[in-house]
């Protein structure tokens, strides 16, 4: 029996809005503009895995320029001052924040991993045996950013496959 | 007054440090619970406040709170969990372990200041 999980695009969009309001766009002048384009390009990404009552990943992906801008907003510095270490740190924290809030909407008993960050396109680090269950895709100041949720296929099955 | 900011993310430590520094705290940083305990052991004066992430390598925030509550020297330190772990069951666990307050990420500066005012660590209205 598989547990049906209802975390839809609207739920993710609400979380993303809170992240923007809190850290990336406190003045409310540069929101994430939805594109609904699941195939938009990304150059860097971070993820957290969720295990237990639900198994899967929450992935934050963006262009390098958007990641640099996010790091600059968090660290109160200019985008050109941001190092790769800063990029990794902020991307990891963004995945952690969204992933933690997603976990709170899942059945009790889910565990959140520490974030994994890859400063390379998502296509180079696909998550095997998963399918996308929801996602928010948009442009932030003209740069692609997405937050998506991937479900591990075949989890929570009773008995042997 | 001193505040210890315990989070494995440097960016999050910087955000919290900016907030508490505005409120006239001197901020000390630690990257995980173990590092925080080590720093506290070296300090002659215990900080009045610790802001603690939950998910960290080496020693997580809940383990840190448990250790801190077992140490009489740290009894006066106010412990605030600042975390994405937002389920009611996790909040109950943290408070049962000895945390005084709980702030869920993402948080605004105003929300954090209000929480610290609630704890009596900053004057009410410090946010206005």
Structure tokens at A51: 């295990």
Of A76, A89, A112, the CB nearest to B55: A112
Please state, rounded to an integer, the average pLDDT across all residues of chain A: 88
Quick check: A3 and A54 in contact, CB under 8 A? Answer: yes
B42 touches chain A (CB under 8 A): no
Q: How far apart are CA B61 and CA A55, in angstroms?
A: 23
Do the Cβ atoms of B84 and A114 come within 8 Å?
A: no
Of A74, A96, A112, the CB nearest to B15: A74
**Would you give per-residue pLDDT tens digits along chain B (128 residues)?**
999 999 999 999 999 999 999 999 999 999 999 999 999 999 999 999 999 999 999 999 999 999 999 999 999 999 999 999 989 999 999 999 999 999 999 999 999 999 999 999 987 766 66
Q: Please state the domain extents for chain A.
A: 33-53+93-129+142-152
| B113 class by beta-carbon count within 10 Å (0-12 exposed, 13-18 middle, 19+ buried) | buried
Give Cα separations from B79 to B17, B21, B50 (angstroms): 15, 17, 5
Query: Around A12, how many Cα atoms within 13 Å sit in the side-chain half-sphere?
Result: 24
Query: Any alpha helices (H) in chain A, and if so which ranges?
Result: 9-19, 64-75, 84-103
A114 touches chain B (CB under 8 A): yes
Q: Determine the residue of chain B that is closest to A71 in CA distance.
A: B11
Write the pLDDT tens digit of every residue in A89-138.
999 999 999 999 999 999 888 999 999 999 987 655 567 788 889 999 99
Q: Which residues of A touch B85 (CB under 8 A)?
A: 100, 103-104, 112
Q: What is the pTM of this model?
A: 0.91
Query: Around B76, how many Cα atoms within 13 Å sit in the side-chain half-sphere?
Result: 10
Query: Around B125, how many Cα atoms within 13 Å sit in the side-chain half-sphere?
Result: 0
Q: Which residues of B touch A96 (CB under 8 A)?
A: 9, 55, 84, 105
């Amino acid at each position: 029996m598989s547990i049906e999980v209802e975390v839809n695009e609207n739920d993710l969009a609400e979380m993303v809005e809170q992240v923007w309001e809190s850290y990336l766009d406190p003045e409310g002048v540069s929101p994430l503009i939805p594109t609904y384009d699941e195939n938009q390009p990304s150059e860097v990404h971070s993820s957290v895995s969720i295990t237990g009552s639900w198994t899967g990943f929450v992935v934050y992906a963006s262009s390098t320029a958007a990641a640099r801008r996010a790091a600059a907003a968090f660290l109160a510095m200019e985008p050109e001052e941001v190092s790769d270490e800063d990029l990794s740190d902020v991307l990891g924290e963004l995945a952690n924040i969204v992933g933690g809030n997603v976990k709170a909407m899942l059945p009790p008993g889910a565990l959140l991993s520490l974030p994994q960050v890859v400063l390379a396109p998502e296509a180079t680090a696909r998550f095997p045996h998963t399918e996308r269950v929801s996602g928010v895709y948009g442009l932030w100041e003209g740069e692609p950013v997405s937050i998506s949720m991937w479900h591990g296929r075949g989890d929570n099955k009773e008995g042997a496959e | 007054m001193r505040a210890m900011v315990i989070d494995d993310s440097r960016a999050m430590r910087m955000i919290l440090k900016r907030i508490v520094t505005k409120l006239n705290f001197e901020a000390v940083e630690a990257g995980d619970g173990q590092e925080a305990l080590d720093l506290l052991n070296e300090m002659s004066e215990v900080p009045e406040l610790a802001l603690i992430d939950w998910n960290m390598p080496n020693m997580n925030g809940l383990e840190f709170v448990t250790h801190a509550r077992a140490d009489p020297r740290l009894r006066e330190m106010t412990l605030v969990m600042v975390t994405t772990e937002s389920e009611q069951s996790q909040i109950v666990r943290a408070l049962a372990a000895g945390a005084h307050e709980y702030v869920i990420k993402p948080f605004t500066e105003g929300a954090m200041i209000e929480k610290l005012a609630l704890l009596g660590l900053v004057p009410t209205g410090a946010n206005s």
